[in-house]
Amino acid sequence: MRSPLLGSFLRWRHSRSVLQALFLSLAILVMVDGFWGPQLSPKNMAGVLPWVHWRGFVALALLLAGNLFCMACPFMLPRKLAKKLLPADRHWPKALRTKWLALFLLFLFLWAYEAYHLWASPLLTAWLALSYFVAAFVIDGFFRGATFCKHVCPIGQFHFVNSLASPLEIAVREPGVCATCRTRDCIVGRYEEPRGLDQGTEALRPHERGKLLQAGCELWLYQETKTGNMDCTFCMECIHACPHDNVGILTRAPARELWEDPQRAGVGRFSRRPDLAALALFLTFAAFLNAFGMVTPVYAVEAWMGRVMGTTSEPLVIGVLFLAGMILLPALLVGCVARCSASLSRSGRTIIQEATRYGYALVPLGFGMWVAHYLFHFLVGGLAIVPLTQEYLAFLGFSFPRAPSWAVGPLVPESWLLPLELIFLELGLLVSLVVAYRIAVREVGPGPRAVRAFAPWGLLALFLSVAGVWLLLQPMEMRGTFMGS
Amino acid sequence: MKSALLPVLTFPVLILLALLLGACRGEMERGDPGLVLDVAISPTPPAVGPARLIITLEDTAGAPVEGAEIVVEGNMSHAGMVPVVDTAQAEGPGSYGISDFRFTMAGDWILTLRATLPDGRWVRAVRPTKVVGRVGGSP
């Protein structure tokens, strides 16, 4: 925030709106071309921008910075309109104030991607984007704050969980300044009339305070006790609201927050959030199953399952495969590991209590697999946007000296791809092992008990890493048609 | 007030602009309805590596059409993979072929053929095809 150019831009009140407008125009381009353009994925913005570039940049942003894609989220601009047109005054039902709904939607998203070959269908991709806009508009139009981001958005949950391993976070610079702050603008917002507390008088209610000049955090992350990136969309409202300029985008030790367990504003303790731990574990295993959907052996598995189930319906077979691979098998594996860990360390905890403490350790490994997978597509196909844009502009009457050349190569030499993928995966493993050990030390203290508590989780991480290496060494197969056709 | 409205106003303007732009683009045209372009692939199903494409160009009455330039572009269903582009050679009346069309990866491919005649008439055909993996190795 204090760097000369970038810092000035980010401190500008409308910086997020500008980024969102840019991404909104890209999203509109995707929808328009998806609905009305050629239905050949490599020749359509809806086939290239979301599935090659967006995912690649998300992986890079999370790896090198933080949750930048929630910051620039295009779905939030129409939401601003919704907040003006609709009441936006209801409280999200208490029973849904967890991550379970978002986890279910994430499962649905990943299943639909595979079962209906979203990457091969510009039309379905466009419908998906449109549904997203409608959902964000309706939910945040009727409910208070950023309900959609916190409790519903599957993509946002992906960002939240993986940004736990990112090097940047929005945090306070000097905790002492917050301790003396009387206004709490970072959470309640800044109004025309001061809150009252800062003047030693009775606090005014929001409707008594005139116009809202700057909103506070809509995800209820109070800066003084906010820790880490969970649920933080990098919206920067707190930065702009803080009258003391005490909030900024700061660097930190990546993944450190995974082994620390303070009481976090708007989140609580990680160790008391089974829904969060389940989301983290789900995303870890989903990384491997998602990659499994792109290699040749998946055909044999699907064909075998189809025979056993007596069906040729790919959505059904993939639904069962995903249910087994993303929910049942992980539950079984994690349950066994948690039981072993609790027994060996004599922690006396139940399986769920143990898994809720250690499950976060697998996040870096899962993230490593997501990065390996998404960067592969980006590095191989990143340049495809050049001829596609050329062709798009040619339709609009722009002329180019040469016809678009579709035979563009990868962004890096092809021989680098596999080593790079392996590096990301194994880096994830390494960080996961460190996190698991640090959690063990936190839970049972240093010494042999910590080693015994750590060992089963370390073995699970190692097993997943070996599975990942096997996956990356498999021949790839790009699917997109009905099973058996 | 003006600043608060900025993003709200930007939104519909952007939508409108992009709709106008995108409306110019459409599904790929099929060309002259009086021409019929077809392709057969050997082996069936094709495997990763070289395949032979046997292409026929006729009019709607079934008469062979000669003298066309036929370009075949193979794309994978997933965006971002390098396409394979080749030009067919005339092999007989209305018959054209590519003896060494190289499928680079297993999976779902979409072949787009475009035949252009010396008089400017043209026709396009799109053929989805499934390419199987080579036994015992990475493609």
Q: CB distance A485–B130 less than 8 Å?
A: yes
User: Is B42 inside a domain boundary?
Assistant: yes
Please name the helix (run of DSSP H) or strand (run of DSSP E) that holds residue A401, with its range, or none: none
Q: CB distance A21–B82 less than 8 Å?
A: no
Residue B75: closest CA among chain A residues belongs to which residue? A42
CA A303 to chain centre: 32
Residue A484: closest CA among chain B residues belongs to which residue? B130
The distance in angstroms from the start CA to the end CA of chain B is 60
Domain residue ranges of chain A, discontinuous segments joined by +: 172-259, 270-473
> Which residues have C-beta within 8 Å of that of residue B114, sequence separation ≥ 6?
B31, B70, B71, B73, B122, B123, B124
* A377-396 pLDDT per residue, tens: 999 889 989 988 888 888 77
Which of 337-396 (A) contact B at CB < 8 A? 377-378, 380-382, 384, 392, 395-396
User: Is B18 inside a domain boundary?
Assistant: no
User: Is B77 inside a domain boundary?
Assistant: yes
Q: Which CATH number fits the domain that encloses residue B120?
A: 2.60.40.10
CA-based nearest residue to A138, from A206, A90, A188, A69:
A90
User: Is B15 inside a domain boundary?
Assistant: no
**pLDDT over 70 for what percent of chain A?**
96
Query: What is the number of domains present in chain B?
Result: 1
Residue A270 has pLDDT above 90, yes or no: yes
Of A24, A52, A409, the CB nearest to B79: A52
Residue A172 has pLDDT above 50, yes or no: yes
Determine which of A35-44, A444-453, A456-465 has the lowest per-residue pLDDT on average.
A35-44
Q: What per-residue confidence (pLDDT) applies to B12?
A: 63
* A320-375 pLDDT per residue, tens: 999 999 999 999 999 999 999 999 999 999 999 999 999 999 999 999 999 999 99
Mean pLDDT value across residues A114-137: 94
Residue A291 has pLDDT above 80, yes or no: yes
- A301 touches B: beta carbon within 8 Å: no
User: Is B105 inside a domain boundary?
Assistant: yes
Q: Which structural domain, as residue segments, surrounds residue B61?
A: 35-131
pLDDT tens, N- to C-terminus, chain B (139 residues): 445 555 555 666 666 666 566 656 666 778 889 999 999 999 988 998 999 999 999 999 999 999 999 999 999 888 878 789 999 999 999 999 999 999 988 888 999 999 999 999 999 999 999 898 754 333 3
Task: Look at the alpha carbons of A53, A56, A60, A65 in this order and tell me if their dihedral is positive or negative.
Answer: positive
> Which residues have C-beta within 8 Å of that of residue A27, sequence separation ≥ 6?
A74, A75, A129, A133
Q: What per-residue confidence (pLDDT) applies to A410?
A: 84
Give dist(CA A44, CA A383) in Å, integer. Answer: 14
Q: What per-residue confidence (pLDDT) applies to A338?
A: 98
φ and ψ at A476, to 5 degrees? -80, 155
Residues in A closer than 8 angstroms to B108, CB to CB, are 120, 478-481
Residues of B with a Cβ under 8 Å from any A Cβ are 3, 6-8, 10-11, 14-15, 17-19, 21-28, 73, 75-83, 85, 105-108, 110, 112, 126, 128, 130, 133-134, 137-139
Could you tell me which residue, A16 or A370, shows the higher pLDDT? A370
Residue A470 has pLDDT above 70, yes or no: yes
* A406-459 pLDDT per residue, tens: 777 789 998 999 999 999 999 999 999 999 999 999 999 999 999 999 999 999
Q: What per-residue confidence (pLDDT) applies to B135?
A: 43
Residues in A closer than 8 angstroms to B3, CB to CB, are 13-14
User: Is B59 inside a domain boundary?
Assistant: yes
Mean pLDDT value across residues A164-187: 93
Give dist(CA A33, CA A27) in Å, integer. Answer: 10
Of A20, A37, A410, the CB nearest to B25: A37
The answer to whether the complex's ipTM is over 0.85 is no
User: Is B138 inside a domain boundary?
Assistant: no
Q: What per-residue confidence (pLDDT) applies to B2?
A: 46
**pLDDT over 90 for what percent of chain A?**
71
